[in-house]
Structures are given as structure tokens and as C-alpha cells.
Amino acid sequence: MKFIVERDTIKTALNKALKGVEMNSTLSILTGVLITATEDQLILENTNMDVSLRQKVIANIEEPGQVVVPTKLLNDVIGHLGEGVVSFETDGSSINVTSGTSYFSINTFAPQDYPSFPEFSVDSTVELPASTLNDMVSRVVVAASADKNRAILNGILLNVTPDRIRLVTTDSVRLAVADAKIVSEVENFQVIVPSRSLRNALSLASDQRTITIASNQSQIIFMFGDVTYVTRRIEGNYPNYQKLIPTSYTTKIALKMNDLYESMQRVRTMTVNNSEVNFQIVADQGVLVITSKIPDQGRAREELPVEVDGEDMSISFNSRFIYDCLQKTDDDVMITFEAESAFKPGTFRTTGDIDFLYLVMPVRPNY
């Protein structure tokens, strides 16, 4: 096996291999990347048995063949080479890597021992704008559960209709829903995607305008550029999240997102172990007072002008849960907060290119 490839080309492919598939297996061969040189192209494949990634790479193939090379070691070697072409040639149980005056010999694994790339058929498919989908995922992923015993809640519910993308996550304490308008030819595409896999696929597709998502009964397949990314599909019925969203409120406030974001940054310095923050809304004064404290150390207080609709209210939340729903934005982006009582969920909403709803359960205050 012998081929020549541009350093930047192979470096980009190896970076994607490391980013797309977590190589924490006890099987040493799974830390490697399977490199296949056909007569007209180079194919890189790697897997951890849950997720598999295949890339097609432009190269000059002199002798076809296959080899499995430790991914991280090869990436480190390529990363320290200068610009230009890199030559690869197998030599028994090793591969020789040459670039300019640099030479490396790397021990390899037997390609026949490497798992085959998963075969798949497609039942349904949809093409989506990659950047929009990535922005939506970044908003909702905070509310996905980390409990491995609750597989459905580890995932992101993805629903696509002819005019909308909707993403949903919940960990039973929080609920996040993001909506964006699109034009699509699908009637109803719905899957539960492992949150980590969706984030990784979108990270790999960051330079693409669109990403194609396909599914069958057990797999979800992402396709973009010359990359195919296959992950398992989370099976089961997603919770009926819509019945959790309140339809009324006794108190509603509106303020600039940046004001709330910066205030939360400050009051969080006076919290420990994600302790609570208290929201006190004073309706006749039009203010939101945010307080936090660390017992025996001190307390913090922020006062913000807000538009108030309704009654006075005092309600407390886990500080991290509130901070998770906020982001640095353009100065004119508004956020609303609604609640019925100190013992029922509070709901944050923002509108724009992406409409976002974030519902969070309150905590009993220690004030």
C-alpha cells in the first residue's frame, strides 16, 4: 500500500476522526483508524462500536491496500510536519510516513481485525441547514439528562415538518424547546438522537451549508460533504412534554437578555454547589431582585428594571439551571419569565430566528 496526500488534507481528516468518535475502548484496535486506498480514492473509517465515521479523502494512490494506524499518534505526527505532501507506505506490520526530511515508522494493526463499517438502509431522510440546527442544539442540550439509565432522556427529540424544525430535551427537572422556521419537503420526520452524537456530527459539519439526516429502525445516519456518520437510534416514546408547558401565569416579566445574563454571572459568585438564587418580583416598582448567599461567607444582590404583568412573586431556582438558559446576545434581545406560584415551574422564553422555551422547576428557598 502506498499513497501521497497533502498534509492539511490528512490532518483535517484525522482531526475529524478524533472529534467524531470517542476512543475510550479497552480494545486497542479501536483506537486506530482504518485507512483503505482504492484505485481512485482514500477512505478513512473509525468506530467505537456505538458510533462510526467514514471519510473520503483526495489522495494520489500508487498502490491500493489497507492498514489500521493508531489515530492519535498519527495525528500528532502529521500535526508536527511542515506544509506540503506526505508519503505513506506500508512495510510489514508498520507504515512509513515521509515528508521532506522527516521520517516516521509507526506500528500498525491488522486490518482484517477491524470492525466492518455498519451497513444501513434508509427509511426516511431530511436535509437541514447545518448552522441553524447547530445553534438550536447548543440551546437545548443543557436540559438533556446525563443519567445513563434513562436512555430516552439522554437524547434530543428532533421533529421536522414542512415548515418547522423543533428540538426538545428534558431531564425531568428542566424542559428546553427550540423552534425554527424552514421550508422542507418532509411531512413528519421524527427521531430521538443521542445528544453527544448530534453535537459531534454538527461539529464535524461546521463548514457545510446543509446536513442530511437519515434514519431506519435502529440507526441514524448523518451525511455531509464526503463524510458519513452513523450512530444508534434511541428507541421508545418520548415523554409528552407539551402537557408540561403552563398555559397561564400570575406574574410575567420582560427584560434584556444581556442584563439578566450579566447579573446572573455576578450573583453566581456567591453560590456553592449549584445552590439557589431567589427571584423577587416587585410589581408596583417594576423591579426584579436577584439574591444568593453562601452560609457564613456572604451574600449577593442584584436589582434590575423589568416590565411586569401581574402580581408580586418570590421564587427560587438552582443557580446553574438558570444560568444554563442564558447566553450573551445582541443588546436588544428580550427574554420573558412567567410563573404561577413559588411552587410551580417557571418558564423563560426568547423569540427570533430561533424561538426558545426553557421551563425549570423551582426549589425550596433557604432564606
In tens digits, the chain (367 residues) has pLDDT values of 999 999 999 999 999 999 989 877 788 999 999 999 999 899 999 999 999 999 999 999 999 999 999 999 999 999 999 999 999 999 999 999 999 999 999 999 999 999 999 999 999 999 999 999 999 999 999 999 999 889 999 999 999 999 999 999 999 999 999 999 999 889 899 999 999 999 999 999 999 999 999 999 999 999 999 999 999 999 999 999 999 999 999 999 999 999 999 999 999 999 988 789 999 999 999 999 999 998 889 999 999 999 999 999 999 999 999 999 998 887 789 999 999 999 999 999 999 999 999 999 999 876 5
Alpha-carbon span 158 to 132, nearest angstrom: 13
CA 200 distance to own-chain centroid: 6
Q: How many CA atoms within 13 Å lie on the side-chain side of 82? A: 5
Work out the number of other CB atoms within 10 angstroms of the CB of residue 285.
13
Range list of H helices, the chain: 7-20, 71-79, 130-140, 151-154, 195-204, 257-267, 319-324
Edge-first strand order for the sheet with 251-256 is 189-194, 155-161, 164-170, 174-181, 354-360, 346-350, 334-339, 251-256, 307-310
What pLDDT was estimated at residue 343? 94
Alpha-carbon span 45 to 155, nearest angstrom: 25
Is-contact 238 157, C-beta < 8 A?
yes
Q: 3-state DSSP call for residue 17?
A: helix
Using the 8-state DSSP alphabet, how is residue 285 labeled?
T
Using the 8-state DSSP alphabet, how is residue 173 labeled?
S
Give the domains, in start order, of the chain with CATH numbers.
2-113 (3.10.150.10), 124-241 (3.10.150.10), 245-360 (3.10.150.10)
What pLDDT was estimated at residue 366? 65
What pLDDT was estimated at residue 222? 98
For Cα atoms 275, 284, 335, give the angle at the middle one, nearest 5 degrees. Answer: 55
What pLDDT was estimated at residue 148? 85
What pLDDT was estimated at residue 128? 97
